[in-house]
C-alpha cells in the first residue's frame, strides 16, 4: 500500500545509464549517461531520431536488457531481472492468429493465473472502452491494423500494471487511425491514472499525450532537454491548433534543427 508521501517520490529512477553493443565492426554506443525520474501517474515520452537508443532504454527499463553501466530503480529497488509489474505495447501488435480478440487479451490473464471470470469481465470492458465492443469473437485477420493495436493495448492493461511501456505503438498506422488511438490512449490512462513511458518519433504525439517530453540527441543517445507540458486534460484534437501547443512543438523542432536531426534547405 502506498503511504501518503509516495506520490512525491520518484517511481522510476534512471541513473547514469549507458549501453554499448558489441558488433563485428566494433563497439556501438547506443545510450550515454542518461538520467531521469518518473513519478506515479505521470506520462513521460521520449522523442528523438532513429538509432538514438529510445527502444534500448525502454527494454532496459523493462528489465529485458542489461545496461552496460548505470542503473534502473523502481520503487527504490534496483531492476536486475524482467519486471512483472509492467505492460508492454510494441509497434507490431503481435497477436496470435488462432485466438480471437478476447482470447488474445486473455492470454496475459492466463499467463498470470488471474481469476478467469473476473479477467473476462475486465477484458470485455477494456475492449469496449477502445471501441471494440461486439468484436470480441473476431480473429486478427478480421480486424484492421488499428483494431489489432487496440487489442494489444487491452492485453497490456488486463492485469492493471503499475507501469505501461509503449514503443512506437502507432508508428505503422494511417493518420486518422493514429489520431483515434491517441485519443483512446489519453482517455484510458487518464481514467486509470496509469504511469506511462512512451517512445515515439512524432513531436505532435509526444506533446499531445505527455506530462513531460524527454528530447533525445542522435546516437549515442543523451538527454538534450526535458520539457514540461502544461496543457489541460482531457486533451482534444483542437488543442493542436492552439498557440501553446505550437510553442511546445517549436521548442522540440528547434532542438532537432540545432542537432542536425532535421535540415532546412
Same domain? For 13 and 60 the reply is yes
Q: Work out the burial of residue 84: count CB atoms within 10 Å of its CB; fewer than 13 is exposed, 13-18 middle, 19 or more buried.
A: exposed
Same domain? For 32 and 138 the reply is no
Same domain? For 41 and 157 the reply is no
Closest CA to 166 of 40, 39, 34, 59: 59
- CATH number, residue 171: 3.40.50.300
Among 118, 144, 161, give the residue marking a domain's end.
161
Same domain? For 192 and 262 the reply is yes
The per-residue pLDDT for 265 is 64
Please state, in angstroms and rounded to a whole number, the distance separating the CA atoms of residues 213 and 36: 11
Bond before 220 cis per omega within 30 degrees: yes
Positive or negative: CA dihedral 22, 28, 33, 35:
negative
Same domain? For 172 and 79 the reply is yes
Domain coverage including residue 33: 1-83+164-265
Same domain? For 10 and 58 the reply is yes
Same domain? For 183 and 102 the reply is no
Same domain? For 55 and 41 the reply is yes
The per-residue pLDDT for 50 is 86
Same domain? For 150 and 176 the reply is no
Same domain? For 63 and 132 the reply is no
pTM of the model: 0.92
The string of DSSP codes covering 144-165 is -HHHHHHHHHHHHHTT--SEEE
The rounded Cα 56 to chain-centroid distance in angstroms is 13
Among 131, 161, 191, give the residue marking a domain's end.
161
The per-residue pLDDT for 192 is 86
Bond before 260 cis per omega within 30 degrees: no
The per-residue pLDDT for 171 is 85
The per-residue pLDDT for 5 is 45
Which residues have C-beta within 8 Å of that of residue 243, sequence separation ≥ 6? Answer: none
Positive or negative: CA dihedral 142, 144, 150, 153:
positive
Q: How many domains does the chain have?
A: 2
Among 161, 196, 218, give the residue marking a domain's end.
161
Reading the chain (265 residues) residue by residue, the pLDDT tens digits are 344 444 567 899 999 999 999 888 888 899 999 999 999 999 999 999 888 889 999 999 999 999 999 999 999 999 999 999 999 999 899 999 999 999 999 999 999 999 999 999 999 999 999 999 999 999 999 999 999 999 999 999 999 999 999 999 998 888 999 999 999 999 988 888 899 999 999 999 999 999 999 999 998 899 999 999 999 999 999 999 999 999 999 999 999 988 877 777 6
Please state, in angstroms and rounded to a whole number, the distance separating the CA atoms of residues 219 and 35: 16
Same domain? For 168 and 247 the reply is yes
Same domain? For 183 and 225 the reply is yes
Amino acid at each position: 500500500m502506498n503511504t501518503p508521501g509516495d506520490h512525491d517520490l520518484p517511481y522510476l529512477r534512471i541513473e547514469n545509464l549507458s549501453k554499448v553493443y558489441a558488433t563485428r565492426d566494433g563497439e556501438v554506443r547506443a545510450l550515454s549517461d542518461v538520467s531521469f525520474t518518473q513519478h506515479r501517474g505521470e506520462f513521460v515520452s521520449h522523442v528523438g531520431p532513429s538509432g538514438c537508443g529510445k527502444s534500448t532504454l525502454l527494454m532496459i527499463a523493462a528489465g529485458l536488457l542489461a545496461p552496460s553501466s548505470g542503473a534502473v530503480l523502481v520503487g527504490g529497488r534496483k531492476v536486475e531481472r524482467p519486471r512483472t509489474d509492467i505492460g508492454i505495447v510494441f509497434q507490431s501488435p503481435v497477436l496470435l492468429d488462432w485466438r480471437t480478440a478476447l482470447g488474445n487479451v486473455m492470454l496475459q490473464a492466463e499467463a498470470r493465473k488471474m481469476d478467469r471470470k473476473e479477467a473476462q469481465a475486465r477484458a470485455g470492458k477494456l475492449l469496449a472502452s477502445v471501441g471494440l465492443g461486439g468484436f470480441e469473437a473476431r480473429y486478427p485477420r478480421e480486424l484492421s491494423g488499428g483494431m489489432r493495436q487496440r487489442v494489444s493495448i487491452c492485453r497490456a492493461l488486463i492485469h492493471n500494471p503499475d507501469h505501461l511501456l509503449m514503443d512506437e505503438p502507432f508508428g505503422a498506422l494511417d493518420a486518422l487511425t493514429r489520431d483515434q488511438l491517441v485519443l483512446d490512449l489519453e482517455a484510458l490512462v487518464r481514467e486509470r491514472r496509469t504511469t506511462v513511458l512512451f517512445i515515439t518519433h512524432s513531436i505532435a504525439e509526444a506533446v499531445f499525450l505527455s506530462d513531460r517530453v524527454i528530447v533525445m540527441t542522435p546516437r549515442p543517445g543523451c538527454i538534450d532537454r526535458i520539457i514540461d507540458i502544461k496543457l489541460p486534460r482531457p486533451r482534444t484534437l483542437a488543442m493542436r491548433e492552439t498557440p501553446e501547443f505550437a510553442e511546445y512543438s517549436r521548442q522540440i523542432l528547434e532542438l532537432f534543427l540545432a542537432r542536425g536531426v532535421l535540415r532546412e534547405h
